[in-house]
Amino acid sequence: MPERRVREHPRYYALGPDGRTPVPRADLFSWAALLEDAEKRRVALTRLDRGVEVSTVFLGIDHRFWDDGPPLLFETMTFAGKNARRLHGRMRRYSTWEEAEAGHRRVVALARRYLRRFGARGTGAGA
């Protein structure tokens, strides 16, 4: 198995003037100041039946800690609690705003299929 190595790259990012393009930040304090407004970092939020929510946000920190590849700066997360346990905590990460939008749509479609399939039960088989 190949040895994994820690990436050497910019760790902190902010959204550029267009509000969608990640820009590296060397200074931790300027990075933190740019992330104060959570709504500016939100790509999408979809609320579904039974309290299920799908949220996609700009993280501001590269989550590709190992190996090569573009920085992972956006994340889609599903929040469902006990209403749909198999959906709760599902997470996907992306490199660009456009990938994050497309990924959000895919996760919402998956969650809707799940809710239709399991209806009022909400936990699915084996959950």
* 127 in any annotated domain: no
* 124 in any annotated domain: no
Domain membership of residue 102 as a residue range = 12-118
The DSSP code for 19 is S
Q: How many CA atoms lie within 13 A of 57 on its CB side?
A: 16
* 6 in any annotated domain: no
Q: Among 2-11, 48-57, 109-118, whose mean pLDDT is lowest?
A: 2-11
Q: What is the pTM of this model?
A: 0.82
Q: If 0-12 CB within 10 Å is exposed, 13-18 middle and 19+ buried, where does residue 19 land? A: exposed
94-107 pLDDT, tens digit each: 999 999 999 999 99
How far apart are the C-alpha atoms of 24 and 31, rounded to whole Å? 9
Confidence of residue 113 (pLDDT cuts 50, 70, 90): very high
- Domain count along the chain: 1
Q: What percent of the chain clears pLDDT 90, i.e. is strictly above it?
A: 46
Give the mean model confidence (pLDDT) for residues 99-120.
Answer: 90
* 123 in any annotated domain: no
* 82 in any annotated domain: yes
Q: Which amino acid would we find at residue 82? A: K
**pLDDT reading at 120 higher than 50:** no
* 24 in any annotated domain: yes
* 2 in any annotated domain: no
